[in-house]
Amino acid sequence: MSKPDILVSLFVFNEGEKLKRVVASFPEKRDYDLFFVDDGSTDGSYEFLRDGGYSLIRHERNIGIGYGIREAIRYGRENGYKIIVIMAANGKMLPSEINRLVEPIAVGGYDYVQGSRYLPGGHSPNLPLFRRIMIRFFTRIVNLFTSYKGTDVTCGFRAYRLSLFDDPRFNLDQTWLDKYEMEYYIHFHVLKGGYRVTDAPVSMVYPEEAKNYSKIRPLVGWWSMIRPWLFLIFKMRK
């Protein structure tokens, strides 16, 4: 059997039972490989993945999602994959919807597919009001600066054609990209580089209780998402 062309990368930090439910929800027969990045979990998540025999990178301490995305992209390129899917391992994103992100690249010729909870067919039950307002506001600001009419720029469920990163304008090894900056750094350069981009409907399922729904820290986390746009628009970083 030939190796699949698609790598689905999941990012883990103390997800506990949520991680086990996510792993169990993947079909046994699939046309993609799974790859996990454990970002310093202390709750047994790493041991669960290790004992399950999954392809896995382990950080001894929590570093950040951007650092993990860099490693996943490097792993995908070094091992000959053509498409990488980025998703969280906290249960908000559904494995059953992976093909919605992959198909526009594999069949439609797109280079980058952004998941969107706001397109027909997407939804986001229990999304907190503050998060809803900020997502809409942030998406409109990004659209203003890029002229791309995206619908949900903050959704972390995404897919990239890995040949994108042959382009030397992507300098992923910069340490300031170690947290949420990485996702928006890539987003900026894809849009400004003239690559083919589209949105695809996905689900972002939040817990019914209005607490512990996100690891994004107030103010600090949002600044981490905003500053790549400022740095790149005003050419303070490359």
Span 19-48, pLDDT tens digits? 999 999 999 999 999 999 999 999 999 999
CA 7 vs CA 76, 85, 145: distances in Å: 7, 6, 31
Average pLDDT score over the chain: 93
Side chain identity, residue 26: F
In a domain, residue 158? The reply is yes
**What's the domain count of the chain?**
1
In a domain, residue 22? The reply is yes
Give the Cβ contact number of residue 7 at 10 Å. 25
d(CA 164, CA 195): 9
In a domain, residue 51? The reply is yes
Query: What pLDDT does 212 receive?
Result: 54
d(CA 186, CA 92): 22
Query: What pLDDT does 99 receive?
Result: 97
Using DSSP, how many helices (H) and how many strands (E) does the chain show? Answer: 7, 7
Hey, what are 150's tokens?
Answer: 């995206």
Share of the chain above pLDDT 90, in %: 84
Hey, what are 157's tokens?
Answer: 């469920």
In a domain, residue 238? The reply is no
Q: In what order do the strands lie in the sheet with 6-12?
A: 56-59, 33-39, 6-12, 83-88, 158-161, 112-116, 197-201
Instruction: Tell me, yes or no, if the pTM score tops 0.85.
Output: yes
Listed residue (135, 162, 225, 222) closest to 188, CA to CA: 225
Q: Is the dihedral of CA 178, 181, 186, 192 positive or negative?
A: negative
Q: pLDDT tens digits for 144-176?
A: 888 899 999 999 999 999 999 999 999 999 999
**If pLDDT is split at 50, 70 and 90, which confidence band does 2 have?**
low
Q: 131 vs 117, which has greater pLDDT?
A: 117
Q: Is the pLDDT of residue 8 over 60?
A: yes
d(CA 183, CA 232): 13
Beta bridge partners of 88: 11
Number of residues in the chain: 238
Q: pLDDT tens digits for 76-112?
A: 999 999 999 999 999 999 999 999 999 999 999 999 9
* Structural domain boundaries, residue 225: 6-233
Beta bridge partners of 9: 35, 86
Query: What pLDDT does 1 receive?
Result: 44
Q: Is the pLDDT of residue 216 over 80?
A: no
In a domain, residue 1? The reply is no
In a domain, residue 164? The reply is yes
Q: Is the dihedral of CA 205, 153, 67, 56 positive or negative?
A: positive
Query: What pLDDT does 10 receive?
Result: 98
Listed residue (224, 145, 128, 126) closest to 184, CA to CA: 224
Query: What pLDDT does 147 receive?
Result: 85
CATH of the domain at 206: 3.90.550.10
Query: What pLDDT does 219 receive?
Result: 61
Query: What pLDDT does 214 receive?
Result: 60
